Amino acid sequence: MVAPATADWDALAARARLVRRSKAAVLYAFLIAVSLPIILPYFWLVTIAFSARTGVAETAVLWRSMGVVVPAVIAFWLTAALAQSRRQLWTGITAVAVIASLAFALLVGPDLHLGNFIFLWEPDFASVVRSRVGEVRGAVQFPNVWHAFANSILIAGAQTAIVVTVASLAAYYLSRFHFPGRSAMLRSLLVLHAFPVLTLIVPMFLMLYWIGLLDTLFGVILVLVAFELPFAIFIMKGFFDAVPWDIEMSALTDGASRRQAFVSVVLPQVRNGILAIAVFTFIRGWEEYIFVFTFLIRNSNWTMSLYMYWVRDDVMGVDYGVVSAVGVFYLVPSLILYMAAQRYLMQMSIGGVKG
């Protein structure tokens, strides 16, 4: 009688590790390949902002910085793919980061400076930039960049507060109550969100002019709120649908009013959805360009998007470094907010569809 063959568990484990590493390597390679066209323009923007001098973008600095960053990214990828333990992973990442930092400091560090961010402390920076190269054109009077920054914060913050409040109340009502026309209203929310808003610029311009809100921040806030509400309501309804009715009924049975049950029981269950639509709405208001360009006229009402446009239009060809520096300054707040709330944004795509 032939004895049954015993399995070589060491060989099977080694084969499984090899397969897992191969899949991880292919996945990392794919992610790096599809990310490069998105990341490189931002990288070049940052590099020019901190290295360009007197209107000239030093391509040598760009290529030297690329020569450091690209090998560092590949080294990170190989470390993540080949590490056999968490300790090896973090050791390899730390070593690559240290080597890349030293190489960047030696090859690129001497060319870095903050002169292109002159607009942060010089209100009449446009005249300074033009005088560097003897350029006198440009009749645009730039407001203080911090004033434009405050206008953008005001528009984005007010829009976020209104959208979150109205969307939460409307979505709760649509989720918990049945009334004639409820299904048609839900379908209309998707239609309104898919409607091309650019076709309404002229009617909205005339409406704001007739009611006296043209060239005011409040008028722009109302327009942005009107276009953001349908999507926010639809998403929040999905989160409210995912909250079991039994939880709310238990609170009502214990003597809580409908308002108390909503505030103390239901809202904490949908806080991820509230944070997610708040982040999306804030970023939407922060980066808005078409409506603010159309409805805001005086430079005292400029937002950061208008500030960025006029810097590009007025001093483009004079100082690329300043234009890139304004772009970096404009990008930082939305990037910080997105990275801080990335987990909630992922949960929004899950919870919003679940309902």
- Mark whether 90 and 162 lie in a shared domain: no
Q: Would the pTM of this model clear 0.75, i.e. be above it? A: yes
- Mark whether 88 and 195 lie in a shared domain: no
Dig out the tokens for 112 from the structure: 């870095």
Cβ contact 233:277 at 8 Å: no
The rounded distance, in Å, linking the Cα atoms of 155 and 281 is: 10
- Mark whether 50 and 158 lie in a shared domain: no
Total domains in the chain come to 2
- Mark whether 312 and 223 lie in a shared domain: yes
pLDDT digits (tens, 9 = 90+) for 278-306: 988 998 899 899 999 999 988 889 999 98
Mean pLDDT value of segment 188-198: 77
pLDDT digits (tens, 9 = 90+) for 107-161: 888 888 888 888 888 877 777 776 665 555 555 677 888 999 999 999 999 999 9
Mean pLDDT value of segment 189-207: 83
- Mark whether 195 and 109 lie in a shared domain: no
Kindly list the distances between the CA atom of residue 7 and the CA atoms of 10, 11, 15, 282, in Å, as whole numbers in the listed order. 9, 9, 13, 58
- Mark whether 70 and 159 lie in a shared domain: no
- Mark whether 176 and 59 lie in a shared domain: no
DSSP string, 12-68: HHHHHHHHHHHHHHHHHHHHHHHHHHHHHHHHHHHHHHHH-BTTB--HHHHHHHHHH
Dig out the tokens for 277 from the structure: 């639509």
Could you tell me the pLDDT band of residue 16, with boundaries at 50, 70 and 90? confident
- Mark whether 308 and 180 lie in a shared domain: yes
- Mark whether 88 and 157 lie in a shared domain: no
Q: Which amino acid is at 132?
A: R
- Mark whether 288 and 177 lie in a shared domain: yes
Asked whether residue 46 is domain-assigned, the answer is yes
- Mark whether 194 and 102 lie in a shared domain: no
Q: Which amino acid is at 151?
A: N
For tokens 């639809």, name the residue: 234
Mean pLDDT score of the chain, rounded to an integer?
A: 81
- Mark whether 12 and 106 lie in a shared domain: yes
pLDDT digits (tens, 9 = 90+) for 225-276: 988 898 898 889 888 988 888 888 888 888 888 888 888 888 888 888 898 8
Domain that holds residue 183: 145-351
Asked whether residue 329 is domain-assigned, the answer is yes
Asked whether residue 306 is domain-assigned, the answer is yes
